[in-house]
Amino acid sequence: MTSGAPHEAPHRFAALDSLRGVAALVVAAEHLNAQGPLFGQRFFINGLLFVDFFFALSGFVIAAAYADRLVAGFSQARFLWLRLGRVWPVHAVMLGAYLAVELVGSRITGREAFGPVRSLPDLGVQLLLLQSLWTPSLYTWLLQSWSISAELMLYLVAAFGWRAAGRGRWMLSLILAIAAAVAMLFPDAVGLHHKLLRGFSGFGFGVVAHVVWRRFGTRLEAAGQGAMTLIEVLLALAVILAVATAGDDAVFGLYGAGFAIVVLVFAAGRGLVSRMLLARPLVFLGTISYSLCMVHTLAESAAMTLASRAAAWAGYPHWFIPIPGNNRPAASADLGLGADLISSGALVVAVLAAWLLYRLIEHPAREWSRRQAPRIGKAA
């Protein structure tokens, strides 16, 4: 691929795409606040730790697609245009959906629209994806888009920092990753800015993983399948254990570094676990993963609210319980496996909504931004 081409990646890491889909599904399950014997396990309760996987994967992929090109003179404006075309349209549509919910919901319930949780000033901050800098707007409107706001800051660092650092771009990324990881050890000092610091940490370690990949990637791809399968299985078990045992004092920098190692190993796609990740349902999940991250909270809220009202109408209001600090119910643990079945149904609704969002918004917007990219800036 030439440096002036608008496409985003010279190499497709298929197993990593599917892993991103699996991670998105775990995050979606965490937001259900599920009470069943499966989804109520600590692994799913701590599912938001997989956001650090997204950051590490992003650092790896962005470095693979653009690091050399940006240093060589690829238009910074074009790079930012392509990245915004990838993430902003879906974000904007989902903000519009929440705006519609706020307007319609206030008319139905009689409550005042645009209260403290969804104020108009916060809507403006989120529309511009600035909430990772202006933290009072972080937990309003589209909550999960804080990671996209952090990504935008990382794109800016990549566009201008890598160009300035030249061959030392990996060192710049490593320094920022370590500095962010250390800063997060002092939560009282960094406050809600730890969200942005998680981005810098995971992304930076992902960039370093790509540096290692460039040097040793061919060896990993040529390694014996048995050995790589063993490594993949051990890594998968380590991730499950690390997430399932994490407490409130989780060291996010370690998770960013650990996920960077996972990205490095699965980039080779050599082991049997990687081959299993190429199954069509997992490839599909990877394809819609970004839309799933953006739409799942709204889709799950609608599904669980409707299910709870149906249960109450049928005379079983005890099937659902309210979740403190959340605007939707969860299936009661008293249902046993039934709670998991209900939660699984809500996940299916979220996946279907993500597929529609991908088909109608994400994919068309991304293709349009690519077609327009040659008009933005000039490649060296």
Q: pLDDT tens per residue, the chain (380 residues)?
A: 333 333 444 567 999 999 999 999 999 999 998 888 999 999 999 999 999 999 999 999 999 999 999 999 999 999 999 999 999 999 999 999 999 988 887 665 556 778 777 889 999 999 999 999 999 999 899 999 999 999 999 999 999 999 999 989 999 999 999 999 999 999 999 999 999 999 999 999 999 999 999 999 999 989 999 999 999 999 999 999 999 999 888 899 999 999 999 999 999 999 999 999 999 999 999 999 999 999 999 999 999 999 999 999 999 888 998 887 666 889 888 899 999 999 999 999 999 999 999 999 999 999 999 999 888 875 43
Identify whether the C-beta of residue 203 lies closer than 8 Å to the C-beta of residue 177.
Answer: yes
Q: How far apart are CA 88 and CA 75, in angstroms?
A: 19
Residue 2 lies in a domain: no
Residue 6 lies in a domain: no
Residue 106: the pLDDT is 63
Q: How far apart are CA 56 and CA 258, in angstroms?
A: 9
Residue 2: the pLDDT is 35
Identify whether the C-beta of residue 351 lies closer than 8 Å to the C-beta of residue 21.
Answer: no
Q: How far apart are CA 242 and CA 21, in angstroms?
A: 19
Radius of gyration of the chain measured on its C-alpha atoms: 21
Residue 1 lies in a domain: no
Residue 89 lies in a domain: yes
| Token digits of residue 172 | 């710049």
Residue 376: the pLDDT is 84
Residue 42 lies in a domain: yes
Q: Is the dihedral of CA 351, 321, 51, 244 positive or negative?
A: negative
Q: How far apart are CA 221 and CA 333, in angstroms?
A: 45
Name, in order, each residue with C-beta under 8 angstroms of 212's C-beta and a sequence gap of 6 or more.
Answer: 264
Residue 4 lies in a domain: no
Residue 8 lies in a domain: no
Helix axes 337-357 and 289-313, enclosed angle (nearest 10): 130
Domain count for the chain? 1
| Token digits of residue 369 | 């931004």
Per-residue DSSP letter, 330 = E
Residue 108: the pLDDT is 59
Residue 358 lies in a domain: yes
- Give the residue carrying structure tokens 């994400």: 362
Which domain range does residue 182 map to?
Answer: 14-375
